[in-house]
Amino acid sequence: MQWELTKLSNEHANVIRATLPLVGEHIEEITKLFYKTMFSNHPDLIKNLFNRGNQKQGAQQKALAASVATFASMLVNDDAPLPESMLSRIGHKHATVGVTEDQYQIVHDNLFAAIVQVLGADVVTKDVAEAWDRVFWIMGRLLIKFEKDLYAEAGVEPGKVFRQVKVVACDTLAEGVTHFTIESTEASKPLPGHKPGQYISVRAHLPDGAGQLRQYSLTDAGKQSHGRLTFAVQAVKAHDQLPAGEVSNWLLENVKQGSELEISLPFGDLVLDEQSNSPVVLISAGIGATPMISMLSRLALDKSEREVVVFHADSSAAADAFASQTKHLASQLPNCRFHTWYAQGESNETTTVGDRLDLTKETLPSNAQYYLCGSTAFLQACSKDLESLSVPASHTHYELFTPNEWLLK
């Protein structure tokens, strides 16, 4: 998919350059007010579309602020590259929850009302409003086009991504981690395959009437699945004054074999490049192993001869939900090695206990593609390691648990 960027006029660019520092200074205040106003005007959005947990933590507000600021800065800097990875990540997230073109107008109207309220009508003059309106719709139209292409590729009308499924198996992988196998409730409409590394949205119909959505990475190879998909859910416990995960805990407490669920079609841009023969390095922590298992499963299914390295960090062997599956899949590949890092336990030839995963101390293949998934702190450390090793940014691909991409920059 090609990004066709529309440039700002010189007049609008000058206005953005002049006002970007002021908007940046107040961007978090603006986005907080924006979401508060939008949810007041459209309560169904926070009930059935937006992640209430991320809203409580402020993650979504900061993600929006970072996205707008990044895009505006790029538009007024001729040397800045188009943030394609950021736009792609947003577009796939939008597709998996069924965002449609008309909802961009809702965002626009409430966002600009917040900008005027925070900065004041004397600051947001007609010229300023026009320039920032232009920024919004350049970014918005890029995403609308991208998302329409994703829907077309999936063979559905825009936003029509949800399917009713039944759970055919529930398997406990570790304490607080359950693996679900699902299939369509309509035999004539089997679930599609997917690219290794993609995810689905799962809608939980909670006791308060909300239909909250969460994304879960698919763990199967993505083909020859006979219309079945698999995903794993880890219970999110309350910690550091943050609430427990309402969807993850609801799923683990209520969903059994035979239960029905509402899910989206698969989307996501952290996918294995199957056209390449370059080495693959899969790096994960905790439940971040899920997209890596999908990639490893596809490599094993295809009997790939590529060099594959699998690194995983976890609290202990008992908590490592995919330890046995990783070992099994790695044994099926002729050129694969794996190593784990645990906080507790005993070290052996494939396990290190006590030390963190430090990529600068590891032997890594040249010209490899790196795929990472884990907590923000884990990704920050790994990104720093790869940067110090002069790994090109184009060779590094990652998935995040929450909308915290701004923390990696």
Per annotation, catalytic residue among 4, 35, 84, 104: 104
What's the angle, vertex CA 268, arms to CA 109 and CA 77, rounded to 5? 55
Q: Which long-range contacts (CB under 8 A, 24 or more apart) does 18-27 make?
A: 19/123, 19/128, 19/131, 19/132, 20/69, 20/72, 20/73, 20/76, 22/119, 22/123, 23/69, 23/72, 23/115, 23/119, 23/132, 24/69, 26/118, 26/119, 27/65, 27/68, 27/69
**Residue 196 structure tokens:** 């290794």
How far is the C-alpha of 260 from the C-alpha of 250, rounded, in Å?
Answer: 14
Q: Which of 370, 293, 301 is nearest to 332 (CA)?
A: 301
Strand partners, 203: 213, 262
Strand partners, 218: 231
Write down the H helix ranges in 340-404: 376-388
Q: Is 104 annotated in the active site? A: yes
Strand partners, 215: 201
Q: Is 35 annotated in the active site? A: no
Per annotation, catalytic residue among 147, 183, 307, 399: 147
Sheet strands (E) in 130-227: 162-174, 177-184, 199-205, 211-217
DSSP 71-111: HHHHHT-TTSPP-HHHHHHHHHHHHHTT--THHHHHHHHHH
65, containing H or E segment: helix 59-75
How far is the C-alpha of 285 from the C-alpha of 198, rounded, in Å?
Answer: 17
- Name the residues annotated as catalytic: 104, 147
